[in-house]
Chains A and B, each alone.
Chain A
Amino acid sequence: MLTQVLSVFTDYTFQLVALGTGIIGLLSGVIGTYATLRKESLLGDALSHAALPGIALAFVIIQRKELMFLMLGAVVSGIIATAIIQVMTRNTVVKLDSALSLVLSSFFGLGLVVLTAIQNNPNAQQAGLNSFIFGQASAMLRRDVQLISSVGLVLLLLVVVFWKEFKCYTFDPMFSRSLGFSSKIIEFLLSMMIVLTIIIGLESVGVILISALLIGPSIAARQWTHRLSGVMILAGIIGFMSGVIGTLISSLGVRIPTGPTIVVVVSVFVFVSLLFAPKQGYVAKYILRQKKQKLFKKRLDELEEAKQ
C-alpha cells in the first residue's frame, strides 16, 4: 500500500493533475468565500450550468477543441446568465431561488441541445466535449495547468489589490456605496471573478460539481475563525488539500472518478468542521449544554438543601 502511494507520488501525470486540481481548489476556496459570505452560494451552481451552452456554441463556431476559445464562450454565457438573474431579481417580483433554477435548467438544456446536435453531425474533434459535464481531471495537460495557474495568479492579485473594496462591499454594500466605491464596478468584478473560477475548474471537476468546491472550503473555514483574511487563507488551504487528496485517492483505484472524489473530500472537511469546530461546533455546543445543565441541577439541589 505504502509503496503504491509512493510510486503514485513520483508519477508525472499525478503530479500534474494534483497540482492542477489543487490550484483549482485553492482558487475556488478563496473566491468562493465572497459568494458564501454574501449568501449567494447557489449562484455558482447556476453559473456553472450556464457555462455549458457557451462551451458548446464556441465549439460550433471554431470547430476545434481549443480550451481558450471554449472558455471564452463559457465566460460570455456566464455573464449573460448573471445579467438575466440580476434583472429578474431586481426589477420583478421573482425570488432569487426561482430565477436561479429557471436559468440553470434552461441554459443547461440549451447546452445539451447544442451538444446533441454536434454529436449528430460527427466531427473527429468533438470527442471529449461531454467531459465538461462530469469533468475529466486525468486528461489535464501541462498547457492546461499553465492556463489555470496564470488565471489563478490574476484572480489572487485582484483579491489583494481590491481587498478593502471587496471586503466593504461584501459585508455592507450600502456603506460601501456611501463611501464612494462604485457598487456596479465592484459587483461586476466580483461576478467576473466567480465566473472565471468556475470556468477554469469546469474541465477537471465538471459543471455539476464545481459549485461544491466554491461553497465547501469557505463554509469549513468559516467555522474556525471570524476574520475574513483567516477564512480566506484557510479556505484556500482546504481547497488545495481537497484537490490533491481527491486526486490521490482516485489515482490509487482503477475506476474512481476524480471530480466526485474531490467533492467527497471537501464534504468531509465541511462536516468535520461543523461537528468539531471550537465554540460553535455541534460537539462543543453539546458539551457546553451538558455543563450548563449540570450546573443548573447543582444549583437547584443547593437551593433545595438550603430550604430544608
Chain B
Amino acid sequence: MSMINEITLIAVVVAIACALPGVFLVLRGATMVSDAITHTVLLGIVLAFFITQDLNSPLLMIGATLVGLATVWLIETIQRSNLVSNDAAIGIVFPLFFSIAIILITFYAGDVHLDEDAVLMGELAFAPFRRLDLWGYDLGPQSLWVMFIILIINSVFIFFFYKELKVTTFDPAFAAAIGFSPVVIHYALMTLVSLTAVGAYDSVGSILIVGFMVGPALSGYILTHSLNKMIGITVIMAIINSVSGVRLAFFFDTTIAGMIAVVTGSTTLLILIFSPKKGLFQHQISQNRARRNLNKEIEKMA
C-alpha cells in the first residue's frame, strides 16, 4: 500500500471511531465533557508511562481510560454539590489534570520520550512508520490496528445497546423508571470516549479529537430528525471530511489532523447554513415569511 493510501485509511478509521460516540455526545449536550476527557487522558498516559517505562504498553491505554473516567466522576461530583455551574466544573477540572501532566512531562523531559507537542497535535504523517510486526510479518501500521479495534468496540457497543442509549439519551427519567440505569449507560459511553481519545491521541492529538467527535455528528443532527439516519450521515461525513482533509494537507504540505479539523468545521458550517430543515438560510426565509404575513394581517385589520 502506498503511503498516502495508508494515511488516508488510518484517517478514515480514526474519524469514524471518533464520530460514533460523538453522535450521543451531541444529543446529550456532553461534548465539552469529552473535550475535558481528551485533555486529561494525557495525565493517565504520563502516569502509566512512569510505571511501565514503555510507550507501547497496553497499560497506558488502561491507565489513561481510568483517568478519563476519574475526570467524569470528579466533574459530576463538583456539579452535584451545586456550588458551581455545570460548565465551570468542567473548566476547573481539566486544566488542573492537564497542567499536572505538562509539568511532569517537562520536568522529566530529559529521560522521557514523550513530547508535549506530539501529544497535543499528533501527527498522522508519522503513523505509517510505526509498524505492527508479528512473527516477522509486517501487518501494517500499528495505529491502524489499534483504531480499528476501537472502532469495532464502539460499533458493537452501539449496536447491542442501541435502545438503552436511545432511551437514556432522550428521556433519562423514563429510562430509570423502566429499569435502565442512565448512570451505567452514561459511564459506559464515557469509557468509550476515553478509550477512543487514548487510541487517537498519537495520530490526531488531544485537542483535535473533540472536533472529530462533534463535527460529523453535528452535521447529522442538523440534517435529520431520526437517530438511525443521523448515525448514517455522521459516518458518511466522517469519511468525506477525513479523505478530503488528507488530500488537502498533502497539497498544502501541512499537518493532516489540523487540516481534517478545518475541513470538518467548514463542512459542518456549510450544512448549518444550507440545511433544508434546520439551516440558517431556511430560518431566515421562514422568519421573513412570517413577518410579511403578520404585516398583511395587520393591514387587513386596519
Contact = CB atoms under 8 A, between A and B. Distances in A.
Interface of A: 36, 39-42, 44-45, 49, 84, 87-88, 91-95, 97-98, 100-114, 116-117, 120, 130, 133-134, 208-209, 211-212, 214-216, 219, 222-223, 253, 255-257, 259-261, 263-264, 267, 270, 274, 280-282
B32 interface: yes
Contact of B81 (A134, A255, A274): A274
B214 interface: yes
Contact of A107 (B214, B257, B265): B265
A7 B261 CA distance: 47
A60 to B, nearest CB: 12
Contact of A255 (B30, B107, B249, B283): B107
Given A101-B35, A112-B255, A130-B117, A93 B278 contact: yes
Given A93-B222, A102-B218, A212-B96, A109 B261 contact: yes
B91 A282 contact: no
Residue among A92, A95, A133, A214 facing the most chain B CB atoms (10 A cut-off):
A92
B259 interface: yes
B85 interface: yes
B289 to A, nearest CB: 15
A212 B91 contact: yes
A155 B203 CA distance: 41
Given A109-B257, A267-B92, A100 B84 contact: no
Most A C-beta atoms less than 10 A away, residue of B78, B117, B120, B214: B214
B59 interface: no
B63 interface: no
Question: Which of B91, B121, B208 has the largest number of chain A CB atoms within 10 A?
Answer: B91
Contact of B98 (A110, A208, A216, A255): A208
Contacts of A267: 92, 95-96, 99
Nearest to B105: A257
B211 A102 contact: yes
Contact of B92 (A105, A219, A253): A219
B269 to A, nearest CB: 7
A98 B258 contact: no
B54 interface: no
Nearest to A53: B262
B32 A256 contact: no
Interface string B199-220: 0000000011111111100100
A106 B211 contact: yes
B102 A134 contact: yes
Nearest to A43: B87
Contact of A104 (B210, B259, B278): B210
Contact of B84 (A222, A257, A259): A222
A286 B90 CA distance: 24
A108 B261 contact: yes
B32 A100 contact: yes
Given A92-B278, A93-B222, A257-B102, A109 B259 contact: yes
A109 B245 CA distance: 11
Nearest to A265: B99
A264 B97 CA distance: 9
20 contacts: A39-B87, A92-B283, A97-B87, A98-B31, A98-B218, A98-B221, A101-B35, A102-B268, A104-B210, A105-B265, A106-B264, A109-B260, A110-B262, A116-B258, A212-B92, A219-B92, A255-B106, A263-B99, A274-B83, A282-B81
B214 A105 contact: yes
B283 A112 contact: no
B222 A36 contact: no
A259 B100 CA distance: 11
Contacts of B252: 113, 117
B266 interface: yes
B103 A264 contact: yes
A109 B262 contact: yes
A117 B259 CA distance: 11
Give the top 10 A-B pairs by smallest Cβ distance, nearest first: A106-B265, A105-B211, A109-B261, A212-B95, A260-B99, A112-B258, A267-B96, A215-B91, A263-B99, A109-B258
Contacts, number: 207
A106 B266 contact: yes
A284 B78 CA distance: 16
A245 B1 CA distance: 54
Given A98-B218, A219-B88, A270-B92, A105 B210 contact: yes
A49 B207 contact: yes
B90 A42 contact: yes
Interface string B92-127: 100110111011001101000000110011000000
B238 to A, nearest CB: 14
Contacts of B268: 102, 106
B279 A105 contact: no
B297 interface: no
B208 to A, nearest CB: 5
Contacts of A282: 81
B254 interface: yes
Nearest to B284: A91
B239 interface: no
A17 B215 CA distance: 39
A277 to B, nearest CB: 8
B95 A113 contact: no
A114 B258 CA distance: 9
- Among A41, A111, A253, chain B packs the most CB atoms within 10 A around the CB of A41
